[in-house]
Structure 1
Amino acid sequence: MSDVPFGFGPQDPDDRGRKPEEPAGNPFDFNQLGAMLSQLGAMFSNAGTSSGPVNYDLAKQIALQQLTGKGGMGFTPDQSGAVADAVHLAEMWLDPATALPAGTTRSESWSARDWVERTLPTWQRLCDPVAQRVSGAWVEAMPAEAKEAAGPLLSMLGQMGGMAFGSQLGGALAQLGSEVLTSTEVGLPLGPEGTAALLPANIEKFTEGLERPASEVLVFLAAREAAHQRLFSHVPWLRQRLLDTVEEFAKGIKVDTSALEQLAGQVDPANPASIEEAMKSGMLEPQTTPEQKAALTRLETLLALVEGWVDVVVAGAVGDRLPGAEALRETLRRRRASGGPAEQTFATLVGLELRPRRHRSAAALWKLLGDQHGIEQRDSVWEHPDLVPSADDLDDPMEFAERFGRTREALEDPMAELERTLREKDEGEAGGQQGEQKDGD
């Protein structure tokens, strides 16, 4: 599975160690560039008017075309009714399992095409920062004489990159749309706020071979979707923090553009498809920076905390009611670990794979907090981002649980905490004086 950020593909193994053929003379052949852009004119006119680093019109067009070819991606009225009933039942079961109230204002059944159309605005927010930084590197790296000669053609060069990004994104969305089970399966609030959405056709395929009743699988997935909605609806900072962290990653992107001068030699003006091939060749593969690593760690940790919390809450809500709940829980974990839709998406988007170790560690932490401090105290961790566990806390959940208990006591009774701090300070000073006296003796 690819682990390079969005907009880049793996380099062909056969090309490793082999330098591309360098063009003679000036590496920027302006006649060739002009011919190439002319060839693309018809493509631009048929690819929509989307502006920006990604052509989302093209992405949507490609995704919907590919999904149309798959067929059978819709749902029946009976399936829609079953989804509504499952969400309603799941909400009742979740009430005693979490202190967060219901966040679902409406439940919907989606086809794969619905999923693409309803989640595309959020994908735009996720993809734009990364694609903007990468596409800007093209222009930044061009020699001054090339920029001056290209003039208005630079905007068309941007369109060229936007089409390539859009083409990649469209194919990825089509693949995801044919596999995802709910609107929140990738761990992000992709759909409209407060809308619990399930994809009956995909769930039907997922249920095959599980040896569990279809109704049981549906309620289990509805509970996970409803739990996500509670979290995203009642933790106001969470949605924005997830999206902001992706933007922080994008700001850290640095591209080695020394190979950009070989662009003209790699692109065939008579074959517009060669543009995308050039982009996938690894020519502009980004370098990992400390800023990116820090942002990815924060994003991975936050996503693991979301999934771990949902895991624990749903287990508490349905564990005694659905005989196959634990088996379904493990099935979804393995689906995640084996490179399901979520991992593939993040690997393509920002080079991030959700490690099952973090997911399980987060679930263990939430379970420990609930056992030691109760459900209300456990869920109060989400009240402020400063209370949320860090990556180090996932490695030592016991220490976090103990520290969290002291923190909550300080917030609930600040005077008692002040007296305790002063008492510890006095005891420390007294101990120090005794030590000095012994040294003097």
Structure 2
Amino acid sequence: MAGDDPNSGDEQSPEEEFQDLIRQLFGGGAGDIDPEQLSRLSGMNIDPAMMQAVMQQLQGAFSGAGEGGIAWDMAKRQALHIANQDGLGVTTGQRTDLDQAFALAALWLSEATTISELASPPQSITRGAWVEATLPVWQELAEPVATSIADALTTALSEQAPDDMQGLVQGAGRLMRTVGGSLFASQLGQVVGSLSKEVVSGGDVGIPLMPDGQAAILPQNFADFGRDLEVPEDQLALYAATRELAHARLFRHARWLRLHVISQVTDFARGVHVDTGALEELASRFDPSEPEELRRALESGALLPERSEAQKAALARLENLLATIEGWVEVVTEDATSRLPSAQRIAEAVRRRRAVGGPAERALGTLVGLELRPRRMREAAAMWRAVTDAVGPAARDALWDYPDLMPGASDIDDPAALVARLEARARGEEPAPDEMDDALAKLLAGEDAPNADAVEDSAGEGSSGDRADDATTHEAGTDEAAKDDDGPHDDGPPEDHRPV
């Protein structure tokens, strides 16, 4: 071996010296690199001191990189560092006040909805605890984009390398993936850490971040939110507790809904691809000792190209889904807090806050390309209000029992049609069958079915066509499909056909 010959070290080229350093990095020995070995890198016009610092930094990222080269542990450390900067916890007084607010809110909420209470008690948590509880979901949402950035960075740097360095570049391919993945993870950690200073409750962002059936309020941020509203703190606490409990109850009751939301978000994220042209331009001038330019590109969203038509359609579906959820939460909260003199003022502040979003939420949009603001929340709330006034809370809440009963975008556009169907059902009237119902009835009766394309076309024209994106809609079984999907049935589908 070359290392056994005392004269062989003098005969190594600078490129061979650099390869030795890469091998040491992969072997975990970046902290023990020989300074004399670094000094010989001058033949490659590389500053040895700079390379020492860079390789130690990369070794730290490399050692923390998980599957796919993404250092998610780094994201967690970064987020917790930001979340815990003030070092404040939850005081006994804050916990007592919020516990009392949660207790009264639970009683009021039970009068406004038939959806049952949570199995576990709500909590008052710190910003750091919120990070710990929600980071697994953030990682799931961000992983497709992180992987895309890491892959694109590897490809771009490989294409920029000269031919005589291709062997070296290929040998360090995993390291280059780690550069992009670790920088992305660091940025995600900063965004989640900053977001922990903005959110008031577990359901504040609109997606199910907290573990199933858990409700929580962050007292530190709750105080900041109410500072400029000129509303008595006890009223603000009651409203926030009611809204948080409504959100948590809904996702615990409709257990399919959590998976439905997360799958739609991840489907959108998987379609996000890095702008390779912008990344290649960045890679051509990228200096590993100055990663700030890549970090700024990640922060600004410059590496994410304009959304495709498919991406716009996916985002529209997600926005409709989030608006449907938020609209129900708003109506139920409004009914439950009708005794509060300041309820309307607080509700309007919450609507504005959800519509605009905070700095950290906007940073998440540039980093992942995803905006989590329900743009149609007012229209969805109007739909739920019309349904509540027409058929009452029980029939309204029954629409969350199965995925195929949940109102879709067409119902938000035309609440009157949804109300008419529900009122007819409440009177025991069966709505007139459409072409899809007729075709399915013939199939079940063993008769020859019409042209399959015509059946598919008629299925896409129904008011619940936008619900067909969720795979869980097919779990209701053939018997359920034979019925109309406009509202709940008293007897329900057979037990073994109900979606889990």
Q: TM-score, normalising length from structure 2?
A: 0.69
Rate the CA distance shift 1:53–1:296 in 2: closer, same or farther, 3 A.
farther
Pick 1 or 2: higher relative contact order, CA cutoff 8 A, min separation 6.
1
Q: Does 1:265 align with 2:280?
A: no
Selected match of 1:365 from 383, 403, 407: 383
Q: Name 1:191's counterpart in structure 2.
A: 210
State how far apart, in whole Å, the 2-side matches of 1:180 and 1:238 are.
22
Residue aligned with 1:379, SS: helix
Deviations 1:129-155 (A, max 9, x none): 232234333345654978765223111
**Matched position secondary structure for 2:64:** coil
Tell me, in whole angstroms, the C-alpha distance in 2 between the residues paired with 1:370 and 1:32: 73
Letter in 2 for 1:107: P
Hey, what does 1:296 align to over in structure 2?
315
- Where in structure 2 are the equivalents of 1:336-375 lying within 5 Å? 336-340=354-358, 343-344=361-362, 347-348=365-366, 350-353=368-371, 357-375=375-393
Amino acid paired to 2:340:
L
Residue aligned with 1:394, SS: helix
Distance change >3 Å, CA 200–CA 264, structure 1 → 2? closer
Structure 1 alignment gaps of length 5 or more: 1-30, 423-441
Measured in 1, the distance between the counterparts of 2:74 and 2:306 equals: 28
Q: Given the alignment, which residue of 119, 123, 132 partners 1:117? A: 132
| Residue identity opposite 2:415 in structure 1 | P
Q: Is 1:55–1:162's contact at 8 Å kept on the other side of the alignment?
A: yes
The verdict on how the C-alpha distance between 1:234 and 1:405 changes in structure 2, with shifts beyond 3 A counting, is: same
Query: Percent identity, aligned pairs only?
Result: 41
- Aligned equivalents of 2:344 and 2:223: distance in 1? 19
Seen in structure 2, the aligned counterparts of structure 1 residues 249 and 260 have a Cα distance that, compared at 3 Å, is: same
Residue 289 of structure 2 aligns to a residue whose secondary structure is: coil
Partners of 2:105 and 2:241 within 8 A in 1: yes
Structure 2 residue 80 is the aligned partner of structure 1 residue 64? yes
Q: Deviations over 1:66-86 (max 9, x none)?
A: 3343x2642101211222222
Give the Cα–Cα distance (whole angstroms) in 1 for the partners of residues 175 and 201 of structure 2.
38
Distance 1:231 1:32 in 2: 62
Q: Distance in 2 between matches of 1:315 and 1:349?
A: 34
Residue 195 of structure 1, CA deviation: 1.6
**Given the superposition, is the C-alpha separation of residues 259 and 203 from structure 1 closer, same or farther in structure 2, using an over 3 Å criterion?**
closer
- 1:252-306 CA deviation, whole Å, 9 max, x = no partner? 2244423444344321233243442454576633242222112111111111111
Superposed, 1:130-209 pairs within 5 Å as 130-139=145-154, 143=159, 149-209=168-228
Please, which of 60, 65, 82 is the counterpart of residue 46 of structure 1? 60
Distance 1:244 1:32 in 2: 49
Q: Structure 1 residues 141-150 or 88-97, which shifts more?
A: 141-150
CA-atom RMSD, angstroms? 3.2
> 2 CA distance for matches of 1:186 and 1:403?
32
Say which SS state the counterpart of residue 226 (structure 1) adopts. helix
Q: 1:264 to 1:354 in 2, by over 3 A?
A: closer
Helix, strand or coil for the counterpart of 2:216? Answer: strand
1:305 aligns to 2:305 (yes or no): no
Aligned counterparts of 1:191 and 1:81: Cα–Cα separation in 2: 22
Structure 2: give runs of 5+ residues left out of the alignment. Answer: 1-43, 439-500
SS in structure 2 opposite 1:195?
coil
Q: Number of paired residues?
A: 387
